[in-house]
Amino acid sequence: MSRHTGHGPLVAFTSLAIAGAGLIVASACFEVVHHHRFPSALVAGVLLQATGLTVSLGHLGQKRRAWLAVRRTGRSALSNEVVSASLALASGVFAAGMGAWDRPDPTVTLIAGVVNAAFLVSIGLVYRVGGQRTWQGASVLTPLTGGCAFGAITIQAWSVTGGVLNMVLLLAVLDAAVFVQRWREVAAIRIPAASLTGSGMSHRDQLLGARLILLDVLPFFLLLAGPTPLAAVVAAAGLVVDRTGFYALALQRTTEHELAGVEEILASARNPHK
Amino acid sequence: MSGAGFLLDLHRCVGCGACVLACRIENGRVLATAWRRVLPLNLRRQPAGPTYFLSVACHHCDEPACLRGCPSGAYEKRPDGIVVHREELCLGCRYCEMTCPFGTPRFDEDRGVVSKCHLCAHRLDAGLAPACVVACPTDALRYVPATAAPPADAVRFVPGFVDPAGCRPTLHFTTPAGARRVELFRHLGKALRR
């Protein structure tokens, strides 16, 4: 990953997929807990997810072999993500279709919500790889909590019948708590100065702080004044900052990084010959 | 050693890069996607530690992270321990680049697939040593087959080469001789653990 020249397609894919799945999960939460139906949110979620999956396909070096990605289902986290993405999209299409034909079924929406929540967890698990120091711990959960917070804010932002603000608050606070834990984990990592060059780590507090404010804090305060699409736009910007920061903060322990760390120790060490 | 791998004598390696060139010629690699690279430590010759060169390629790990993560099964571990990459199954998703803690897989933009060192499996199968080993003018780089054990004084890790992902690389090192040098390695090891 350290040699990736651009993370644009990954940022786009994960932002769209997390936003789409988050909308479907939040719709399911609203419908099951408060019996409020938001069929247009399901449709929007499916469209976002489908766009994200298309972008994901586009970043492959060999697009015609994309179907091979499911060969190691159950053994590779990436295969699991591909399978769960397909199931999430299918369940979302089914739930949205039921709503569009005026036959909404809470059970179908609930199933779609659960499957999409599993997909969001699978995104987190893909990046939990040994040696990637900033992608451990709470970062596994941030796609789920961030997606749900975005979904709830977006539904509330366009709600004409009156959404449920306490559900938005609950999901935003949950996401903020998980994200603050991730921030603490990232802040605790000791990094050789040489590894900071050209890395997002030198701006980590700005990136993480912007994400927290844009996705969790500012939209909620905007919604307190009443439903406004601006809250959804700000939350979407927060989601993009979240994914941009996630890849920018990648810190792989390659041999080059390890050597840089040793060089730094040598430079600061006392001369043992004296 | 559980699988085939390399043995690098840090005292002998002078960082000439002959191994890199031999690998490139043998396997038709351009510099940007070369499978082997030579990484120097302490070229400024700070007195607190040794100066050496790490000539590294794929370590054909016992628990390869690339193989674990690959969604299409493009990686395969042969019975002799060599981890080979089958390009015809590669999606070009570059997930192995993320999972390998040694920066081994190289993405070829033109062909849209990843590639990596296969320990010159075609040469080994023909009874020849890997090209990088043959080219080494100081005998610093050696090939250790799965059936042989590395020297008793060989170590698996030196400052700058660790195993952060539990992959158990098969690369072994012989370190500079002399008690003073050994002390320096210990001193660095302690500092890194802190």
Nearest alpha carbon to residue B142 among B130, B160, B128, B124: B130
Nearest alpha carbon to residue A240 among A1, A6, A8, A5: A8
pTM, two decimal places: 0.88
For A67-97, give the secondary structure using H, E and C: HHHHCCCCCCHHHHHHHHHHHHHHHHHHHHH
Domain count, chain A: 1
Are residues B71 and A82, on separate chains, in Cβ contact within 8 Å?
Answer: yes
Helix axes A77-100, A8-34, angle to 10 degrees: 50
Exposed / middle / buried, residue A103 (Cβ in 10 Å: 0-12, 13-18, 19+): exposed
| CATH number at B5-193 | 3.30.70.20
Q: pLDDT tens string for chain B (194 positions)?
A: 468 899 999 989 999 999 999 999 999 998 888 999 999 988 888 777 788 999 999 999 999 999 999 999 999 999 999 999 999 999 999 999 999 999 899 999 889 999 999 999 999 999 999 999 999 999 999 999 988 888 888 888 888 888 888 899 999 998 766 545 555 666 666 665 55
Residue with tokens 């199931």: A87
User: Which H or E element spans position A244?
Assistant: helix A229-248
Q: Which residues pair with B56 in a beta bridge?
A: B37
Q: What is the nearest CA distance from A120 to chain B, expressed in angstroms?
A: 18
Mean pLDDT, consecutive 10-residue segments, chain A of 274 residues? Answer: 64 96 95 86 95 93 94 96 97 91 86 97 94 90 97 88 80 96 90 67 89 95 91 97 92 83 79 49
The CATH number given to whatever domain includes residue A18 is: 1.20.1630.10
Predicted-complex ipTM score:
0.87
Are residues B101 and A252, on separate chains, in Cβ contact within 8 Å?
Answer: yes
pLDDT of amino acid B3: 82
pLDDT of amino acid A2: 40
Nearest alpha carbon to residue A158 among A95, A48, A235, A238: A235
Which among B56, B98, B187 is the nearest to A255, CB-wise? B56
The C-alpha atoms of residue A173 and residue A146 are separated, in whole angstroms, by 10
Does residue A273 lie in a domain region? no
Residue with tokens 């406004």: A228
DSSP 8-class letter at B190: H
Does residue A2 lie in a domain region? no
pLDDT of amino acid A250: 86
* Sequence-separated (6 or more) residues with CB below 8 Å from residue A165: A156, A223, A224
DSSP 8-class letter at B41: E
Going from the C-alpha of A41 to that of each of A100, A109, B6, B63, the distances in angstroms are: 11, 11, 57, 44
Which residues of chain A does B91 touch, with a Cβ-Cβ cutoff of 8 Å?
60-62, 65-66, 68-69
Which among A78, A255, A261 is the nearest to B95, CB-wise? A78
Q: Which domain holds residue A140?
A: 8-268
Q: Using CB atoms and an 8 Å cut-off, which of residues 159-198 of chain A contact chain B?
A: none
Exposed / middle / buried, residue A126 (Cβ in 10 Å: 0-12, 13-18, 19+): buried
Which among A78, A127, A252 is the nearest to B71, CB-wise? A78
Q: What is the nearest CA distance from A18 to chain B, expressed in angstroms?
A: 19
- Spans of all domains in chain B: 5-193
Q: Is A130 on the interface with B (CB under 8 A)?
A: yes
Does residue A77 lie in a domain region? yes
The residue of B88, B93, B110, B167 whose CB has the most chain A CBs within 10 angstroms, and thus the best one to mutate to test that interface, is: B93
- pLDDT, one tens digit per residue, over A45-57 is 999 999 999 999 9
Does residue A15 lie in a domain region? yes
- pLDDT, one tens digit per residue, over B121-162 is 999 999 999 999 999 999 999 999 988 888 888 888 888 888
Does residue A3 lie in a domain region? no
Q: Is A3 on the interface with B (CB under 8 A)?
A: yes
The C-alpha atoms of residue B79 and residue B179 are separated, in whole angstroms, by 39
CB B136 within 8 A of CB B9: no
Q: Using CB atoms and an 8 Å cut-off, which of residues 84-113 of chain A contact chain B?
A: none
Residue with tokens 């979620």: A45
* Sequence-separated (6 or more) residues with CB below 8 Å from residue B129: B120, B123, B143
Which among B68, B98, B113 is the nearest to A61, CB-wise? B113
CB A250 within 8 A of CB A127: no
User: At A147, phi and psi to the nearest 5?
Assistant: -65, -45
